[in-house]
């Protein structure tokens, strides 16, 4: 028997762009047809983009999505299409806003994989496991399915399921395997964070081997607000070995031949004691694919190293946020420090040097080295540098406020004022020229509140918001390695961090050294460690207390911050939802 | 048999203030004991405050909450205490952040009503219905319970359940009634919005009458970030009649005698075809309450009229956000318009005239009437007025930016610049004096983006963010009616709305009249109407198209806005979660 040919469309949809996403899907279906695939698959909610959030509450949005799905279904002649869509059942009045009370809501919405064949919608698989933690809110919208279909396609039994479903030992995969599935097709919108790829691969290998099935794991690519989907789709054989790997952070149509018949003898059933969902088998009308095919070589991209992976996530996240928001150009305030340097480097990679403008806005506290370094950096990148001194504006503000502030000493007020003048100048340029302002604060600053609201926090997108300072430093060196030349001047990398908002200011005057601070932030913000756990791990008590206090007191700033790209296991944003009014301060006795 | 005495503690906890909330609970227990109540009840999650959000993911927070619960339990001698708490079962490693993959999470957290008696925790009721829509995210944290206990307390059978549980016809109330419950005690943290009180009362009356039981509905009071809990606890008899009503927006201990034995003959069972949860009966050790008691008269507060209700919600929301955040004083930018006028009036009511400072910051486009009206308003309120002209600063910015802007015409850039200078001056005062900045934008502006990010949107709390302009106008007149004198000058109320950012500017140059705009915003933002529904309702097509476009394009501004008080069925904030990158534009064909 000839191999089963799977085409995995690792695509980059845009949330809400129903017609555009459908156009893109149809073009990829044509490409898969040309490659004589038996099945072409698209990611979770590929038609709407992921996550569509409260667009899913709009009946009109669901109706328009359904119309586009019908259009895609029309292309399913001679090929089976599997595509992620929202599926509304009995839902003419699905809509919380119209329901006066919770019990009067009607209609049921599923996170579905539509199976299209013979020119029409043949069936829907409804996702069973709905993540509602971290950045995910799927139970806000969706009801869990209860059926685990197996589709008989051109002689091969294919179990389809969606994203989270594959993460459970005793999930739909097991039920589908027991019902005869030989191939599991799992469509995803799985966001990137560091080490996520390795976790996925370990899990998928176990899932394939435990069940003795081929597992095809298809992931989305692209940036959507805080999230970056990293692609790296995987196909594993029934022994759990990776036989195909898609590229990271790139669109790709992966075409893979599965030698299903050769593995039939090996496919042992893995009986489940508590099967999830009800199995059903659906015969898919055979497509006319009797023609001989040339075998294809499975794509096998090389995984990126850790630093390159983060860098590419930041570049793609920035590119997609800026472009999908309708901007072409960006403006960035350069301070002479490492954070703004790496931000401008990432923006240049994402948007092109001709689309990036750097503002250098010195005050009386700015050292000459900051100027020299900014010139060098923008020269290296080929980026336009605009210098706008803020001293006169600062003096004018001080003059206007002098009567009100009479008798008061200078304090953080005057520091914030400088940052806010800079924010105003950047925003004025943004308004006048249609540039998006990219902010330059890192995760260590966001955590501790070492940033000025409406000042250096003013902007549309915060590129390195989830990158701790120690990682910023490592990435800065890596940018030069990747380029094979000096992009970020060594003098910027080597210089002790400073905000330059008062004479001789250094970050470490106010904060613990970053090598001490960053692990505390990770423990407290990303891992919810108890205080006692931090102390037992050897973190200095004073630094722990200071850091926790700063993190807790800065929530109000973060709430008004622009979004930034998630690269850690828990970012500031949808991933971490704390009240603003919050009197909880962890006792040091726990 | 003597009546069953219930004490409902309509309290105002603070999120995270575990020790403080427990102290407050204990004080109210003492008061209930003094009044010889059989049971004293506290709202949903009263111990932690509601909603505690991701504090619930911190093992240390849960451990500290449990410790405080033990302290409260110690007071349950001679009285039964029912109090809302998170309840962690088998949870030594409950913590998503520590679980590498979803299937490795362990521990189960419930939204519970702890029943305390005889000095210890006797039992926990676990909420069955977990709202995960609108402002609610309970499935992010909690697992649904499956048991509907009835507690036999001093001879009376009491079914306890939590908030959402009471909204379902066939919910725990029905199961508990079938198991013999004579009184249903339902503890809530139910946020206010307009018309919510009437909805609740209609539902509760039906629930009581259908089941032939007393229903005691206890609600929290107080502000927490965007939410205001309005109190107005209710007790209904088995005929569905309201026999006690708590005050709105005020703490209160409601003591009510229920003539349970007199109603025994009337209590008909309401058999459920599909009972929810498993019934169980628990005998509570009787308390020593053999002493004779004087009967108490049930409290019966008068419900507020619609405008007063909104006004009181805004005052309490502002008071609690400011005070619970640790501020005592506020500063507000006055424009001479109605929005800033009502904001300063609300702030004065909430914080006291001595704690409010108004900044009047005229530009060259500001008319004299704005000055006169601001003086009159602050005189009426007894609030300090500081005048800070911005012309010099504006000219200085224009001069600094002139080389960059050469050849460009004035546009929104220059308008935004004025708003941002004002934002900077307010923030400078905030930093210097520790005042919170209250912003003055209304819902119509938030919806259409008719506001400047980092300008008039800069501040800690947005008092009237969820109040449409037409309601702002009605409220402004009502403020004068409530005061019995002119607080907001008639000239402010009568003046056509203007931003005064260019010569002779009027809101209606850019926006439809508010009487046309506000219903479109309600239909689109709060009710998710399709375009065709709006047109069928007679909304002008041009205004519909313009408004939808403005709403959709302003999402990025709202994401960086300060929180404000929810008073409508859907506010901008937790209630409405739209992607920033979003290419969906509703087709006018639907």
Residue B273 contacts A, CB cutoff 8 Å: no
What's the pLDDT band for A285 if we cut at 50, 70, 90?
confident
Active site residues of B: 44, 127, 163
Query: Is pLDDT of A271 > 70?
Result: no
A301-323 residue pLDDT tens: 999 999 999 999 999 999 999 99
Mean pLDDT score across all residues of chain A: 94
Q: Do A562 and B560 touch (CB under 8 A)?
A: yes
pLDDT tens-digit readout, B73-127 = 999 999 999 999 999 997 654 454 556 565 555 679 999 999 999 999 999 999 9
Q: Whole-number mean pLDDT of chain B?
A: 94
- Name the token pair of B234: 């209710």
Please determine, for residue A31, whether its predicted confidence score (pLDDT) is greater than 50.
yes
Percent of chain B's residues with pLDDT above 70: 94
Report d(CA B411, CA B502) in Å as an integer: 10
For residue B499, what pLDDT is reported?
A: 83
pLDDT digits (tens, 9 = 90+) for A542-562: 999 999 999 999 999 999 999
Give the pLDDT band (50/70/90) at residue A187: very high
Task: Lay out the sheet containing B39-41: strands in order across.
Answer: B120-126, B108-117, B80-89, B39-41, B4-10, B252-258
Q: Do A97 and B400 touch (CB under 8 A)?
A: no
Whether residue A137 lies within 8 A of chain B, CB to CB, comes out as yes
Say yes or no: B409 contacts chain A, CB-CB below 8 A.
Answer: no
Sheet strands (E) in A32-146: 39-41, 80-89, 108-117, 120-126
Q: What is the 3-state secondary structure (H, E, C) of A380-421?
A: HHCCEEEECCCHHHHHHHHHHHHHHHCCCCCCHHHHHHHHHH
Say which DSSP state B261 is in: G
A413:B405 CB<8 A: no
Euclidean distance between CA atoms A195 and A201, whole angstroms: 10
Inter-chain contact A63–B590, Cβ cutoff 8 Å? yes
A411–chain B Cβ distance below 8 A for any pair = yes
Judged by a CB distance cut-off of 8 A, whether residue B454 touches chain A is yes
B308 contact partners, CB below 8 Å, separation of at least 6: B478, B482
Q: What are the structure tokens assigned to A28, written together? A: 């990829």
ipTM reported for the complex, 2 dp: 0.95
Q: Which of A283, A269, A8 is nearest to A118 (CA)?
A: A283
B583–chain A nearest CA distance, Å: 5
Span A487-509, pLDDT tens digits: 999 999 999 888 888 888 888 88
Domains and CATH numbers, chain B: 4-283 (3.60.110.10), 306-508+555-559 (3.40.50.620)
**Is B431 at the interface with chain A, CB within 8 A?**
yes
Distance CA(B533)–CA(B512), nearest Å, equals: 19
Q: Hey, is the C-beta of A559 within 8 angstroms of any chain B C-beta? A: yes
**Mean pLDDT confidence for A391-416:** 97
**Are B570 and A97 in contact (CB < 8 Å)?**
yes
| CB atoms A458 and B460 under 8 Å | no
At B370, give phi and psi (nearest 5°). -60, -40
pLDDT at A482: 97
Could you list the beta-strand ranges (E) of B302-399.
Answer: 330-334, 356-360, 384-387
CA A202-A204-A210 angle, to 5 degrees, is 100
Residue of B454, B526, B553, B559 to mutate when probing chain A, most A C-beta within 10 A: B454
> What pTM was estimated for this model as a whole?
0.96
What is the predicted pLDDT for the residue at A372? 95
B334's CB contacts (< 8 A; 6+ apart) are B340, B341, B344, B358, B359, B360, B374, B377, B378, B385
pLDDT of residue A93: 45
Predicted confidence (pLDDT) at residue A96 exceeds the cutoff of 80: no
| Range of weakest confidence among A286-290, A571-575, B58-62, B310-314 | A286-290
Dihedral pair phi/psi, residue A40, rounded to 5°: -120, 130
A536 is catalytic: no
Q: Is B198 on the interface with A (CB under 8 A)?
A: no
Contacts of A63 in chain B (CB under 8 A): 530, 590
Per-residue pLDDT of chain B (590 residues; tens, 9 = 90+): 789 999 999 999 999 999 999 999 999 999 999 999 999 999 999 999 999 999 999 989 999 999 999 999 999 999 999 999 999 997 654 454 556 565 555 679 999 999 999 999 999 999 999 999 999 999 999 999 999 999 999 999 999 999 999 999 889 999 999 999 999 999 999 999 999 999 999 999 999 999 999 999 999 999 999 999 999 999 999 999 999 999 999 999 999 999 998 777 544 555 555 678 888 889 888 765 656 788 899 999 999 999 999 999 999 999 999 999 999 999 999 999 999 999 999 999 999 999 999 999 999 999 999 999 999 999 999 999 999 999 999 999 999 999 999 999 999 999 999 999 999 999 999 999 999 999 999 999 999 999 999 999 999 999 999 999 999 999 999 999 999 999 999 999 999 888 888 888 888 888 999 999 999 999 999 999 999 999 999 999 999 999 999 999 999 999 999 999 999 999 999 999 999 999 999 988 77
Element spanning B472, H or E: helix B469-483
Contact criterion met (CB below 8 Å) for B144 and B129: yes
pLDDT of B93 reads 46
Strand partners, B158: B151, B183
Q: Any CB–CB contact under 8 A between B163 and chain A?
A: no
CB contact under 8 A, B454 and A199: no
Helix (H, G, I), strand (E, B) or coil at A2: coil
Q: Please answer yes or no on whether B581 and A140 come within 8 Å at the CB atom.
A: no
Judge whether residue A469 has pLDDT over 90.
yes
- C-beta atoms of A583 and B14 within 8 A: yes
Name the residue among A95, A325, A577 with its Cβ closest to that of B54: A577
Is the predicted pLDDT of residue A102 greater than 80, yes or no? no
Instruction: Tell me which H or E stretch contains B148.
Output: strand B147-153
Which of A24, A33, A163, A182 is the catalytic position? Answer: A163
Q: What pLDDT is recorded for position A445?
A: 97
Chain B interface, mutation test: which of A435, A579, A586, A588, most B Cβ atoms within 10 Å? A579
Q: Which two tokens stand for residue A366?
A: 């700015």
Q: Two tokens at B420? A: 């941002």
């Amino acid at each position: 028997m000839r191999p089963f040919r799977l085409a995995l469309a690792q695509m980059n949809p845009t949330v809400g762009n129903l017609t555009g996403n459908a156009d893109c899907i149809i073009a990829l279906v044509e490409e898969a047809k040309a490659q004589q695939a038996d099945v072409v698959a698209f990611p979770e909610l590929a038609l709407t983009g992921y996550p569509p959030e409260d667009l899913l509450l709009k009946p009109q949005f669901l109706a328009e999505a359904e119309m586009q799905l019908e259009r895609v279904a029309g292309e399913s002649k001679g090929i089976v299409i599997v595509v992620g869509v929202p599926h509304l059942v009995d839902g003419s009045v699905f809509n919380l806003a119209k329901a006066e009370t919770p019990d009067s809501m009607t209609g049921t919405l599923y996170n579905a994989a539509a199976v299209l064949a013979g020119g029409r919608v043949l069936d829907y698989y409804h996702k069973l496991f709905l993540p509602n933690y971290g950045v995910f809110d799927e139970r806000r919208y969706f009801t869990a399915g209860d059926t685990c279909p197996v589709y008989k396609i051109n002689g091969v039994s294919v179990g389809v399921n969606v994203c989270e479903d594959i993460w459970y030992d005793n999930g739909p995969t097991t039920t589908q395997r027991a019902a005869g599935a030989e191939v599991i097709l799992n469509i995803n919108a799985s966001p990137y964070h560091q080490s996520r790829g390795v976790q996925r691969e370990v899990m998928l290998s176990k899932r394939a081997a435990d069940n003795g099935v081929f597992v095809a794991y298809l992931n989305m690519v692209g940036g959507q607000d805080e999230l970056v989907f990293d692609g790296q789709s995987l196909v594993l054989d029934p022994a759990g070995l990776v036989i195909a790997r898609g590229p990271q952070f790139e669109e790709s149509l992966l075409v893979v031949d599965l030698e299903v018949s050769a593995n039939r003898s090996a496919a042992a059933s893995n009986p489940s004691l508590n099967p999830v969902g009800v199995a059903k088998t659906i015969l898919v009308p055979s497509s006319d694919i009797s023609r001989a095919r040339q075998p294809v070589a499975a794509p096998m991209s090389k995984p990126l190293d850790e630093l390159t992976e983060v860098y590419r996530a930041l570049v793609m996240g920035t590119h997609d946020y800026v472009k999908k928001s309708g901007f072409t150009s960006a403006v960035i305030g350069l301070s002479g420090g490492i954070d703004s340097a790496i931000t401008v480097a990432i923006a240049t990679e994402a948007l092109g040097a001709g689309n990036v403008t750097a503002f250098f806005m010195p005050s009386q506290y700015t050292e000459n080295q900051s100027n020299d370094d900014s010139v060098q950096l923008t020269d290296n990148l080929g980026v336009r540098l605009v210098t706008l001194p803020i001293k006169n504006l600062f003096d004018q503000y001080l003059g206007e406020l002098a009567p009100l502030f009479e008798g008061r000493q200078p304090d953080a007020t005057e520091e914030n004022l400088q940052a806010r003048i800079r924010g105003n100048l950047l925003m004025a340029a943004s308004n006048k020229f249609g540039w998006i302002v990219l902010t330059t604060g890192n995760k260590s600053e966001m955590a501790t509140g070492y940033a000025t609201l409406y000042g250096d926090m003013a902007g549309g997108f915060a590129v390195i918001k989830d990158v701790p300072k120690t990682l910023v430093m490592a990435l800065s060196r890596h940018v030069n390695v990747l380029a094979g030349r000096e992009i970020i001047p060594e003098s910027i990398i080597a210089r002790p961090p400073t905000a330059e908002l008062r004479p001789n200011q250094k970050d470490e005057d106010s904060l613990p050294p970053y090598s001490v601070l960053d692990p505390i932030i990770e423990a407290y913000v990303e891992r919810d460690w108890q205080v006692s756990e931090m102390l037992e791990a050897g973190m200095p008590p004073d630094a722990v207390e200071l850091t926790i206090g700063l993190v807790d007191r800065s929530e109000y700033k973060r709430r008004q911050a622009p979004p930034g790209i998630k690269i850690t296991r828990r970012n500031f944003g949808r991933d971490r939802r704390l009240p603003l009014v919050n009197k909880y301060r962890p006792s040091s006795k726990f």
